[in-house]
Chains A and B, each alone.
Chain A
Amino acid sequence: AQSVTQLDSQVPVFEEAPVELRCNYSSSVSVYLFWYVQYPNQGLQLLLKYLSGSTLVESINGFEAEFNKSQTSFHLRKPSVHISDTAEYFCAVSDRGYSTLTFGKGTMLLVSP
């Protein structure tokens, strides 16, 4: 069985500050890893994913995440956040596509001016 732990339920930051949202997973097999974002009153949408290859993956809006196999982590980072990044972020894991996705409980990113 696989599981995901998002260590922070809420992360408040000021605009233009850096941020890191933490995600740890457990699985007995190799995994695919994902970050989804949910803006208020909307469904989730994919932010970025790790399938294989380079352990550092990036999104089009400046977020990046690094797959660390030894620490079983997939933390999400952004060097400078904007007000518009305020949303809930979900980390998710799949055992290489052979199972359904398991989601973490989410981290609410609150960006203030």
Chain B
Amino acid sequence: DAGITQSPRHKVTETGTPVTLRCHQTENHRYMYWYRQDPGHGLRLIHYSYGVKDTDKGEVSDGYSVSRSKTEDFLLTLESATSSQTSVYFCAISETRDRGTGELFFGEGSRLTVL
């Protein structure tokens, strides 16, 4: 199994509070991704990173920010959580996006509930 650790695995918070989810990898992969999974929507990309301090937006980036100060860590922050951000969040990594196999390795997910 790819070495990907997400924390926390479960979190319940209140509307308006800040939340940070952490993804830590031990594979030294260049690309890291944050997805959210919701019933009826499948997986949707929030943000991704293609190197330290290099990030870009996905299709559902509003309300989220990310940071990557080290190769192994990719943080997802909800500055002011809303109930619509209740979801399961998955971190994924890949060795290369361009002309590579395209295979993503996923963490086990972080379940966030915003009351």
Contact = CB atoms under 8 A, between A and B. Distances in A.
Interface of A: 6, 9, 32, 34, 36, 41-46, 49, 51, 90, 94, 96-101, 103-106
Contacts of A106: 42-43
Interface of A is mostly: loop
Contact of B43 (A32, A41, A90, A98): A90
A90 B98 contact: no
A32 B41 contact: no
- Residue of A6, A34, A43 with most chain B CB atoms under a 10 A cut-off: A43
Interface of B: 4, 33, 35, 40-45, 48, 58, 90, 92, 96-104, 106-109
25 contacts: A6-B42, A34-B102, A42-B108, A42-B109, A43-B107, A44-B43, A44-B104, A45-B106, A46-B103, A46-B104, A49-B103, A90-B42, A94-B102, A96-B99, A97-B100, A97-B102, A100-B33, A100-B58, A100-B97, A101-B102, A101-B104, A103-B44, A105-B41, A105-B42, A106-B43
